């Protein structure tokens, strides 16, 4: 699972009002190179919640992203390539996602998070 998906995911448990962002507990992170597309990055930049994104990337061991950003950083190629790396090339292979409100763990195996809820959580 990439940080792109992590940034869209929130906890869906019944009664949870703010299930975003899910905390990442990383055990194994892999990197896969993909081609960079600046247009897509710029479009995603508007949609990404930056705080959650930076925290996620730190939890996965990538610390080169700035804490605070505004849209002017998109002009810098260096920033774009870091953003691209964190967004699309880092994969959480083994670990867990933790709901911020209830502490419920969603295990991640072979890169696939198990988001199935128990019956009493629906």
Where does this chain bind other proteins (CB under 8 A)? 1-2, 4-5, 7-12, 14, 19-20, 34, 37, 39-40, 43-44, 47, 49, 88, 110-117, 119, 122
Contacts of 117 (CB under 8 A, 6+ apart): 12, 13, 14
Cα–Cα distance for residue pair 67/97, rounded to 1 Å: 22
Select from 44, 35, 37, 36 the least CA-distant residue to 71. 44
Q: Which is nearer to other proteins, 9 or 96 (CB)?
A: 9
**Residue 41 or 65 with smaller CB distance to other proteins:** 41
Nearest distance in Å: CB 52, other proteins: 9
| Cβ nearer to other proteins, comparing 2 with 85 | 2
**Residues in the chain, how many?**
122
């Amino acid at each position: 699972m990439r940080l792109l998906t992590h940034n869209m995911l929130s906890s869906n448990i019944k009664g949870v009002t703010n299930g975003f962002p899910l905390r990442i507990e990383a055990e194994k992170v892999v990197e896969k190179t993909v081609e960079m597309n600046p247009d897509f990055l710029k479009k995603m930049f508007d949609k990404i919640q930056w705080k959650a994104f930076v925290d996620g990337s730190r939890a996965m061991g990538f610390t080169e992203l700035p804490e605070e950003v505004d849209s002017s950083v998109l002009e810098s190629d260096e920033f774009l390539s870091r953003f691209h790396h964190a967004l699309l090339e880092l994969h959480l292979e083994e670990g867990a996602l933790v709901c911020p409100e209830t502490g419920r763990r969603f295990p991640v195996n072979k890169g696939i998070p198990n988001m199935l809820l128990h019956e009493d959580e629906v």
